[in-house]
Amino acid sequence: MEQRDRSFFDEINDYHFGNLSAQDKLLFDSRLIIDLELAAAYEEFSDTLKIIKQQNIHNLKNDFQLLDAVLDKEFLSNQKRKPVILYIAATLVVLLSISMIYFHQNKLDNPAKAYYEKDIGLPVVMGENNNIQLDRAMSFYKLNDYEKAKNILTLLSNKKPTDTLTYYIGVNNYELGQYKNAINFFKKVDKQSSFYDKAQYRLGLSYWQVNEIDSTRQVFSNLKSPSSSYSVQAELILKKIK
Amino acid sequence: MKTDFINSIKSGKKDELLDVYKRYRNDFIRWAVTNYNVSIEEAKDVFQDIIIALYQNITDGKLTELNCELRTFLYQIGKFKLLNLKKREQHKTLYEEDFLHVTPMGVDTFFDTDEEKYINYELSNYLSHLCENCRTLIDLFYIKELPLKKVAKIMGYKNEDVAKKKRYECFKKLTVIYQKEKQNGTKR
């Protein structure tokens, strides 16, 4: 009996591992149909083999479980670290954006800034000047309160516009960073006015500030003439914006 | 590299599989949780199922080559499993044609039809009833599928006939244990 079992077992193994020739395999397939004992032995073999395979998967799962303990720890620590990393990343992005805006702003501002000098304003001698409001405006201007200075100058200009008022409204707009408004006022200063050169120079700088390079070039080209008190600066600026 | 991996697994080197498990598990879980609205536990189970299915398909000879990177392969299979998981939850019909290119046999056949049986079986540890020698012998023959000659050499047997005889004895012991348990289970 055992001999027979053993013989079946060896044959089944050869069949299972593909060690039989095509002819022998065909023969074995036929015997599986007609030989009930062999068929039963084969079924028994298949069942046991399945158990072996399942046991192997079971062992594999145990190995995974051992790894899971370590991997779960890593996973959780990464999860905890994630918000901190996100927080740092967000802060860096904000800082980077601010610095880029600042850098960009400076890039636009700096060239014109380097050539700008603050107008000293008109002398304020209380009692000697009939226009007290203009004195007040100049006082505010000298105290760097350009908004108040501009308001007073605008009120005065609405009553009776003069080149002096127009020029200083432009200057205050420039100081406030309102370059487009400044351009409108500097442009209005009459050619005959004593403020004309100053206004033109600041007009050029205002154009530069808003990146209107053609207009900037035009204004400084006019100021290049030796008769202008800004000819040297105009030359330098023209070279710079080439 | 891809073929090397398959060959290693086929020759019974589990370490390679455990390496893959370690390397991709946590990233996969994060990806699954983020993209498929599954819980961490579900994602863990899916990943383990994928690795086991990968192992079974390689050892059964169903998967002989990978036509993409292993990571891509695992994620594609994962996508399929996760969608099926969601499908089961939502009872919706899904089409999986876009995954069919992943393996030569198609992802839909990647998971065995007996998959649930493989994954959820309750197994008494029959092999633990065998002696150490028998367990090793069975592992070499039926898991690593080494030829008789090699097994005889590893086990220090005189020749292949001794190996054959021992193989029979060990297998028979296991069959008896299993059949006995099965009968007890039926009686219970």
Give pLDDT tens digits for B28-42.
999 999 898 889 999
Residue range(s) defining the domain that contains residue B74: 2-120
Q: What's the pLDDT at B118?
A: 41
B44 and B78 part of one domain:
yes
Those of residues 75-104 in A touching chain B at CB distance below 8 A are: 75, 78
Q: What's the pLDDT at A150?
A: 92
In terms of residues, how long is chain B? 188
pLDDT band at B101 (very low <50, low <70, confident <90, very high): very low
In this structure, is residue A102 part of a structural domain?
no
In this structure, is residue A99 part of a structural domain?
no
Cα dihedral B33/B36/B37/B39 (nearest 10) = -50
Q: What's the pLDDT at B63?
A: 85
Q: What's the pLDDT at B124?
A: 53
B92 and B145 part of one domain:
no
B31 and B56 part of one domain:
yes
Last residue of a domain, which of B120, B140, B164? Answer: B120
Question: Mind listing the pLDDT tens digit for each residue in B41-77?
Answer: 999 999 999 999 999 888 888 888 888 888 998 998 8
Last residue of a domain, which of A51, A67, A83? Answer: A67
Least confident of A113-127, A154-168, B132-146: A113-127
Question: How much is the average pLDDT of B86-113?
Answer: 56
B115 and B183 part of one domain:
no
Q: Which residue of A6, A64, A75 is in closest CB contact with B168?
A: A6
Residue range(s) defining the domain that contains residue A134: 116-240
Smallest CA-to-CA distance from B4 within B68, B72, B64 is with: B64
* Predicted confidence (pLDDT) at residue B6 exceeds the cutoff of 80: yes
B82 and B140 part of one domain:
no
Contact (CB<8Å) B55/A60: yes
pLDDT band at A190 (very low <50, low <70, confident <90, very high): very high
Q: What is the ipTM of this complex?
A: 0.76
* Predicted confidence (pLDDT) at residue B91 exceeds the cutoff of 70: no
pLDDT band at B96 (very low <50, low <70, confident <90, very high): very low
SS3 state at B87: helix
Q: How far apart are CA B8 and CA B10, in angstroms?
A: 5
pLDDT band at A102 (very low <50, low <70, confident <90, very high): low
Q: What's the pLDDT at B107?
A: 57
**Total Cβ atoms within 10 A of residue A206:** 28
* Predicted confidence (pLDDT) at residue A59 exceeds the cutoff of 90: no
Contact (CB<8Å) A48/B174: yes
B17 and B67 part of one domain:
yes
Q: What's the pLDDT at A82?
A: 65
Question: How much is the average pLDDT of B17-27?
Answer: 93
In this structure, what CATH number is given to the domain that contains residue B147? 1.10.10
Q: How far apart are CA B16 and CA A98, in angstroms?
A: 49
A134 and A40 part of one domain:
no
What angle, 0 to 180 degrees and rounded to 10, lies between the N-to-C axes of helices B2-10 and B40-59?
80
Tokens 């390397």 label which residue?
B23
Q: How far apart are CA B3 and CA B119, in angstroms?
A: 26
Give the whole-number percent of chain B exceeding pLDDT 90.
36
In this structure, is residue A55 part of a structural domain?
yes
Least confident of A38-52, A92-106, B91-105: B91-105
In this structure, is residue A108 part of a structural domain?
no
CA of A70, closest CA in chain B: separation in Å? Answer: 9
Question: Mind listing the pLDDT tens digit for each residue in B166-187?
Answer: 999 999 999 988 888 777 765 5
pLDDT averaged over chain A?
86
Q: What's the pLDDT at B98?
A: 42
pLDDT band at B2 (very low <50, low <70, confident <90, very high): low
According to the per-residue pLDDT averaged within each range, which of A18-32, A120-134, B170-184 is highest?
A18-32
Establish if A14 touches chain B: CB-CB under 8 angstroms: no
In this structure, what CATH number is given to the domain that contains residue A195? 1.25.40.10
- Token pair of B136 as six digits: 């090793």
- Token pair of B28 as six digits: 């996969």
In this structure, is residue A81 part of a structural domain?
no
A48 and A145 part of one domain:
no
Last residue of a domain, which of B72, B102, B120? Answer: B120
- Tell me the CA distances in angstroms from A82 to A70, A78, B25, one per residue in order: 18, 6, 17
Q: Are B48 and B10 in contact (CB under 8 A)?
A: no
pLDDT band at A106 (very low <50, low <70, confident <90, very high): low
Contact (CB<8Å) A53/B142: yes
Q: Considering its fold, how many domains does chain A have in total?
A: 2
Interacting residues of B65 by C-beta distance below 8 A, sequence separation 6+: B2, B3, B6, B104
* Predicted confidence (pLDDT) at residue A103 exceeds the cutoff of 80: no
Residue A157 vs residue B108, higher pLDDT: A157
Interacting residues of B30 by C-beta distance below 8 A, sequence separation 6+: A75
B43 and B130 part of one domain:
no
Question: How much is the average pLDDT of A211-217?
Answer: 91
- Tell me the CA distances in angstroms from A98 to A101, A106, A211, one per residue in order: 5, 12, 21
Establish if A54 touches chain B: CB-CB under 8 angstroms: yes
In this structure, is residue A106 part of a structural domain?
no
> In A, which residues are within 8 Å of B164 by CB distance?
10
Q: Considering its fold, how many domains does chain B have in total?
A: 2
> In B, which residues are within 8 Å of A49 by CB distance?
142
In this structure, is residue A172 part of a structural domain?
yes
Q: What's the pLDDT at A26?
A: 93
Q: What's the pLDDT at A173?
A: 95
Give the whole-number percent of chain A exceeding pLDDT 90.
40
B59 and B22 part of one domain:
yes
Contact (CB<8Å) B29/A49: no
Q: Are B77 and B100 in contact (CB under 8 A)?
A: no
B105 and B175 part of one domain:
no
Q: What's the pLDDT at A174?
A: 94
Interacting residues of A208 by C-beta distance below 8 A, sequence separation 6+: A111, A112, A216, A237, A241
